[in-house]
Amino acid sequence: MSAPHFLVHSPKDNVGVVVVEGLKAGTSMIGVITETDETTKIKAKHDIPIGHKVALKPFKKGDTVVKYGEDIGKIVADVGVGEHVHVHNLKTKRW
């Protein structure tokens, strides 16, 4: 297997974290679920900076995002598989 493009911390997660510089839209990405060492594949729909999240499933406004097996916030705009998830479409539930 070649080096992964993104990591998923828990099998419960519905986002992964990009771990390569310069990820471009259209890239066929390989991801690794670190708890199980399983691999997964998705296609990037956007350019996504290193350290930012990528959607592993489609989200509708109001859906919960799970990272590290934990609720990290809610989606505020619909997101498709392979799209960039960040402050423009994800907000905390605290306020």
Residue 2 DSSP class? P
Model pLDDT for residues 43-92, shown as the tens digit of each residue: 999 999 999 999 999 999 999 999 999 999 999 999 999 999 999 999 99
Distance separating alpha carbons of residues 16 and 89, to the nearest angstrom: 15
Coil vs helix vs strand at 95: coil
Average pLDDT over every residue of 18-32: 97
Confidence of residue 7 (pLDDT cuts 50, 70, 90): very high
> What pLDDT sits at residue 1?
63
Distance separating alpha carbons of residues 73 and 63, to the nearest angstrom: 8
> What pLDDT sits at residue 94?
85
Both ends of the chain: CA-CA distance in Å?
A: 42
Q: Which one is the CATH code of 6-91: 3.40.50.1370, 3.30.420.40, 2.30.130.110, 2.40.50.100? A: 2.30.130.110
Domain ranges across the chain = 6-91
Q: How far is CA 34 from CA 8, 18, 22, 71, in A?
A: 6, 13, 22, 18
